[in-house]
Amino acid sequence: MFTQFGATAESLSKASTMVFRIGTDAHLYDDPDDVNIAPLLDSKFDSEKCEALKRLLALIAQGFDVSNFFPQVVKNVASQSIEVKKLVYLYLLHYAEKRPNEALLSINYFQKDLGDTNPLVRAWALRTMAGIRLHVIAPLVLVAVSKCARDPSVYVRKCAANALPKVHDLRLEENTAAIEELVGFLLNDNSPGVIGAAAAAFASVCPTNLSLIGRNYRRLCETLPDVEEWGQIVLIGILLRYAIARHGLVKESIMLSSRDLENIASENGASDTYQKGNEDSNAYFGLKESNADLTNGVCKSEVVDIVSRSYLEGPDKYLSKHRCADVLSSELEGLHFTSAKDNEDIKILLLCTSPLLWSHNSAVVLAAAGVHWIMAPKEDIQKIVKPLLFLMRSSNSSKYVVLCNIQVFSKAVPSLFAPHFEDFFMSPSDSYQVKALKLEILSTIATESSISSIFQEFQDYVKDPDRKFAADTVAAIGLCAQQFPKVANTCLEGLLALASHATDGEAIVLLQAIYSIKAIIGKDPSSNEKVIVHLIRSLESIRVPAARGMIIWMVGEYSDIGNVIPKVLPVVLKYLARCFTVEEVETKLQILNACGKVLLHSKEEELWAYRKVLSYMLDLARCDLNYDIRDRARFIKELLSCYIGSSDTEEGKAQQESRDVSRVLAGRIFGGQIKAPSSEQFSARFYLPGSLSHVVLHAAPGYEPLPRPCSLNFEDPSINSNIVEGAKRPGDGATQSESYTDDPDSVSGSLNEESTSDYSYADSIGGSDGTGGSNVSSSLSEVDVHKEPLIHLSEVGYPNANPDGGSHVDNQYSGSNNLGELISTRSLESWLDENPNSGHNLSEPSSIRKSSARISIGHIHGRVEPKICALLDPANGNGLSVDYAFSSELSSLSPLLVCLQVSFKNCSTEPMMNLQLVEDNKRQDSSDHASAMTESSSHGDVPSLVPMEEIANLGPSETINIMLQVRFRHHLLPLKLVLWCNGKTYPVKLRPDIGYFVRPLPMDIGVFSAKEAQLPGMFEYTRRCIFTDHIGELKKGDKPGTNDQFLVICECLAVKVLSNANFFLVSVDMPVSANLDDASGLRLRFSGELLSNSVPCLVTLVLEGTCFEPLNILVKVNCEETVFGLNLLNRIVNLLAEPARG
């Protein structure tokens, strides 16, 4: 009893929270299923229904699947209680997709609610109905949306706009036009609240249909400040894109400043210092001294140039082409410019976005700043600085994103942020990432006047407890010291002190310090002799191998500088030789190098001493455990043999010559000036300000660069809108080919090339052209009619063969000789190619393909033989052998079932009785409980195994085949069954084959490409594997005249895939190239859809390599079902990689 009192504090606090929690839904969350929910749902009291629904919500919140209550919940849609309704909606939206049939039952109630007098009820009904996302009801939803788009209530109209993307997500082609029309209608709305939502709908439904904006541009700009904040974010982006597509870039803006920048720089008095800086090194683009002249905005021309190009083209495209800089620049010259001072449209855009810089929503501020950054005249950009800096105050999470953007702005125009350097001083609450960004910005924007204050700060940061950050600071100090020679000395002193005080635990700081010192010295070695000597002296105390290595490198590099170093050199070398054996590998390598260099630079009188040291060290190195060091020793010995071995007896003339050669060689190798890597600036990727891609530094799916300037040219938008609309949809087959015809020369050029090449198919192309062209489809069904493969050059040009628009330009570009022509057609193409998955082009093989032929393999189905697996071995089954093979037949009972061909064979001498396969009933563990409940509660559900009729009698060596229909609940786990035979049971396991969870989905190449384009990004998975089967096949097929290597490979692949997966072979494309052996570019496409939910699943195989070598295959799967797609991909890769049986 007293012990109970003992626990007072704890139980009291518990009790108090209990009191506090009374009346909340706490108990529902803690024990949602402590009562039976089902009867509550059917209760006639709203309060009980509410409670039941809350319990269900709690289960959903905790991640349980309670979709089995769906039918009962749906009934409650009819409830009059608004709370029950709300809860039902919440439940319904969570599960509707899973239970489409039952969800349909609710539609009538929604229809009724849509006519309710309460706008809230109407809005909720519309939101939920659209949220159900069923293809069947899409037309109904569309009608409802168009009705609600004219609703008197603003809220309902807003919800109608929000519903449009939901309908659009269903991707029903026939609705697209209607949806876009509704978007246009809602953009015309009077209420700013609706416009915001309509803008969001526009951005997700038809972001490229800018003609819709054209009609309302001015009005949209004017209402922008009144639109609610979330809509503003989206609308700003849309207006910016429109303005650029319609009017082009602003000639006073930063985007075009790089071209006339040189003029400005030379006109300014600053040109002297500017050039000096430039001579010193081109490596760091932060070198130019800003003269703090803000209105003139001294920009880093290269950076600005890259930034503006990346904005326009997307960095991936830009990077892949940046070598052809001359082509690009001429292309940029051809852009149309406009002036912010004369153009009313741009004026109004800037005018209406500038007050948004004061918004309390940080995303709005950043979006508005982005517009000004791109469009505003240079002298007005100043406007965005303070709002951006103020954004850093808003929350810790946004601070990082804002800094990411400021970083790019400041890199391009350091003078913009230079006066505000204090804002980038660290605050104690900053995370490491934020601090690192701030450091980088600080070292970018430092100026002559601010550098001293910044250094003061840096000195404090070096003492920061976060040593990684301290090391970064040291690096930043090094960077600044290189920019500002005046402070270099102070920096060196500080760094040296740091290096000598650094304790053992501070390896990274020390390393960074030495690295920075090395970089500073590298700019002016001769005046920093003392520093080098100081470092050499501290060698003894510095124990970090990499740091030692760097100091030793300096010994070698600067061995002939000044007066002191040559004097101490012999001692140093002796010291190094003494401690050589105890050094780490990297230090040893540096020691060897340094000795080599010293020898090379040494004067005649010291040569002998050094030579002795070096040969001693080489001897040591030759016995080293590490082979790198032994190699290096050997190499240096050879290279410097002339120096080492010159005291030997006299040599012949030939040797003398080779000595000269190696002397020169050694001079080159050791004396070569090392250029700092200048690739840094080019590898920097820039994405539009405020975008997600910019923060994660890769193009996120759906990222689009700015539209092509002035690509939107029309006189009367109302007439031309349809045409523009058509031309702007990427992946639209018709327009692609249309754009291709613009360029007839390159097409015909490649055609000619083809016919001249001695391609072995030349005959069959001509011969089968007549029949083959028309018979492609029939040849697939009539398997045996055409023994001969049919080849027809269906598409000579590339566009259709490659569904990925992004690389299509590159291809054309490389295929054609006449660049001038290309550039003229590029403007339209760049429109077409702004497809969201430009980031994935990298995975495309970059080989040059001029054209491809499409072949159909007619008789392939004859060779497809499903793989047979053993279910029961005769040894274990008393002579009964059971095999199964997955069948390509489809179950007539349910789409969830997979058909199997099971063959029972009696290998014994006695007859067998009562054979049957049944489900293993023992497994009723908890995990299956939910599914069992599902089965009992709803109709039309499917058991794991469709009961098979018993085989009464199986005679000796008799075989009976039976078709079995099985439902695998999981793609990977085997299904446990029990085999009854002669009254005995045998547990057996049926292993699922993911390849048979699909059924063939016949389609042609056009549909395939379209579907593929709809499944980009996250829905696309690729892997590579090596395929070798064809080699054996090629060796077998001896008749070279009849069988072509390509065909054999294609057949091998197709048979292998089709024998293991239930797919439809869509097409086989092969490259038409001059090289007979080169199978690269061979492309097979398969299509299928998932049995259970008819989600399409596309497989593409692309080959690389030559015919008689193992082929490298890129397997690509496009499927909306992520898990399935990945599993399938793995299965196909394993399948292809495993060698053929026999």
Query: Residues 305 to 324: which contact other proteins by CB under 8 A?
Result: none
Query: Residues 233 to 292: which contact other proteins by CB under 8 A?
Result: 233, 237
- Phi and psi (nearest 5°) for 1075? -85, 115
| φ/ψ bin of 685: left (φ > 0), alpha (ψ from -120 to 50), beta (otherwise) | beta
Site pattern 1056..1095 for other proteins (x: CB under 8 A): ----------------------------------------
Query: Residues 186 to 205: which contact other proteins by CB under 8 A?
Result: 191-193, 197, 200, 204
Tell me if 380 contacts other proteins by CB under 8 A: no
Q: Distance between CA 391 and CA 403 in Å, rounded?
A: 9
949: Cβ contacts below 8 Å, ≥ 6 apart = 962
Q: How far is the CB of 793 from other proteins (least distance, A)?
A: 38
Tell me if 72 contacts other proteins by CB under 8 A: no
Which secondary-structure segment (H or E) carries 1026? Answer: strand 1020-1027
Q: Dihedral of CA 1087/1092/1094/1095: which sign?
A: negative
Q: Distance between CA 340 and CA 398 in Å, rounded?
A: 31
Tell me if 510 contacts other proteins by CB under 8 A: no
By beta-carbon proximity to other proteins, the closer residue of 133 and 792 is 133
Q: Dihedral of CA 626/628/633/637: which sign?
A: positive
Query: Residues 386 to 425: which contact other proteins by CB under 8 A?
Result: 386-387, 389-390, 393-398, 400-402, 422, 425
Query: Residues 718 to 747: which contact other proteins by CB under 8 A?
Result: none
Tell me if 921 contacts other proteins by CB under 8 A: no
Q: Distance between CA 36 and CA 40 in Å, rounded?
A: 7
Q: How far is the CB of 967 from other proteins (least distance, A)?
A: 22
Site pattern 772..811 for other proteins (x: CB under 8 A): ----------------------------------------
Tell me if 97 contacts other proteins by CB under 8 A: yes
Selected from 15, 696, 932, 963, the binder of other proteins by CB under 8 A is 696
By beta-carbon proximity to other proteins, the closer residue of 189 and 993 is 189
Helix (H, G, I), strand (E, B) or coil at 1062: coil
User: 434: buried, middle or exposed (CB in 10 Å: 19+, 13-18, 0-12)?
Assistant: buried
Quote the DSSP letter at residue 717. Answer: H
Q: Distance between CA 445 and CA 912 in Å, rounded?
A: 89
Which secondary-structure segment (H or E) carries 1112? Answer: strand 1111-1119
Tell me whether strands 912-919 and 959-966 are parallel, antiparallel or unpaired: unpaired
Tell me if 63 contacts other proteins by CB under 8 A: yes
Tell me whether strands 1020-1027 and 1096-1104 are parallel, antiparallel or unpaired: unpaired
Give the chain's end-to-end CA distance (angstroms, integer).
80
| Closest listed residue to residue 697, CA positions, set 688, 705, 706, 708 | 688
User: 819: buried, middle or exposed (CB in 10 Å: 19+, 13-18, 0-12)?
Assistant: middle
By beta-carbon proximity to other proteins, the closer residue of 70 and 798 is 70
| Closest listed residue to residue 887, CA positions, set 915, 868, 861 | 868
Q: Distance between CA 614 and CA 594 in Å, rounded?
A: 10
Q: How far is the CB of 439 from other proteins (least distance, A)?
A: 15
Selected from 111, 153, 343, 1106, the binder of other proteins by CB under 8 A is 153
User: Which pairs from 1129-1134 meet CB under 8 Å and 24+ separation?
Assistant: 1129/1021, 1129/1022, 1129/1023, 1130/1023, 1131/993, 1131/994, 1131/995, 1131/1060, 1131/1061, 1132/995, 1132/1057, 1132/1061, 1132/1099, 1133/1023, 1133/1024, 1133/1025, 1134/1025
Quote the DSSP letter at residue 1094. Answer: -
| Closest listed residue to residue 215, CA positions, set 236, 246, 244, 248 | 246
Q: Which stretch binds other proteins (CB under 8 A): 78-86, 573-581, 674-682, 1081-1089?
A: 78-86
Q: Distance between CA 1110 and CA 1030 in Å, rounded?
A: 8
Q: How far is the CB of 472 from other proteins (least distance, A)?
A: 13
Selected from 709, 789, 815, 836, the binder of other proteins by CB under 8 A is 836
Selected from 75, 78, 83, 280, the binder of other proteins by CB under 8 A is 83
Quote the DSSP letter at residue 945. Answer: B
Query: How far from chain centre, in Å, is Cα 446?
Result: 35
Selected from 99, 166, 317, 1083, the binder of other proteins by CB under 8 A is 166
Query: Residues 1113 to 1142: which contact other proteins by CB under 8 A?
Result: 1122
Query: Residues 524 to 563: which contact other proteins by CB under 8 A?
Result: none
By beta-carbon proximity to other proteins, the closer residue of 801 and 1128 is 1128
Query: Residues 352 to 371: which contact other proteins by CB under 8 A?
Result: 355, 358-363, 365-367
Bridge partner list, 338: 250
Query: Residues 437 to 496: which contact other proteins by CB under 8 A?
Result: 453, 456-457, 460, 463-465
Q: How far is the CB of 484 from other proteins (least distance, A)?
A: 20
Q: Which stretch binds other proteins (CB under 8 A): 518-526, 620-628, 692-700, 948-956?
A: 692-700
Tell me if 327 contacts other proteins by CB under 8 A: no
By beta-carbon proximity to other proteins, the closer residue of 570 and 702 is 702
Q: Which stretch binds other proteins (CB under 8 A): 57-65, 438-446, 526-534, 882-890?
A: 57-65
Query: Residues 927 to 966: which contact other proteins by CB under 8 A?
Result: none
Selected from 1, 9, 22, 875, the binder of other proteins by CB under 8 A is 22
Query: Residues 672 to 691: which contact other proteins by CB under 8 A?
Result: 690-691
Q: How far is the CB of 445 from other proteins (least distance, A)?
A: 16
Site pattern 1011..1050 for other proteins (x: CB under 8 A): ------xx--------------------------------
Q: How far is the CB of 488 from other proteins (least distance, A)?
A: 23
Tell me if 159 contacts other proteins by CB under 8 A: yes
Q: Distance between CA 687 and CA 695 in Å, rounded?
A: 9
Task: Supply the angle between the helices 211-223 and 176-187 in degrees, to the nearest 10.
Answer: 30
Query: Residues 112 to 141: which contact other proteins by CB under 8 A?
Result: 118-120, 123, 127, 130-131, 133
By beta-carbon proximity to other proteins, the closer residue of 117 and 295 is 117
Query: How far from chain centre, in Å, is Cα 667?
Result: 46
The amino acid present at 614, given as its one-letter code, is L
Number of residues binding to other proteins, judged by CB under 8 A: 117
Residues in the chain, how many?
Answer: 1142
Q: How far is the CB of 1015 from other proteins (least distance, A)?
A: 12
Selected from 669, 695, 890, 946, the binder of other proteins by CB under 8 A is 695
Query: Residues 976 to 995: which contact other proteins by CB under 8 A?
Result: none
Tell me whether strands 249-250 and 337-338 are parallel, antiparallel or unpaired: parallel
Q: Dihedral of CA 996/1000/1005/1007: which sign?
A: negative
CA distances from residue 356 to 345, 349, 360 in whole angstroms, order as listed: 18, 11, 9
Selected from 8, 13, 16, 47, the binder of other proteins by CB under 8 A is 47
Tell me if 165 contacts other proteins by CB under 8 A: yes
Q: How far is the CB of 1056 from other proteins (least distance, A)?
A: 29
By beta-carbon proximity to other proteins, the closer residue of 995 and 1125 is 1125
Selected from 17, 737, 982, 1075, the binder of other proteins by CB under 8 A is 17
User: 201: buried, middle or exposed (CB in 10 Å: 19+, 13-18, 0-12)?
Assistant: buried
Selected from 7, 11, 14, 21, the binder of other proteins by CB under 8 A is 21
Q: How far is the CB of 237 from other proteins (least distance, A)?
A: 8
By beta-carbon proximity to other proteins, the closer residue of 359 and 800 is 359
Site pattern 206..225 for other proteins (x: CB under 8 A): -------------------x
Query: How far from chain centre, in Å, is Cα 122?
Result: 40
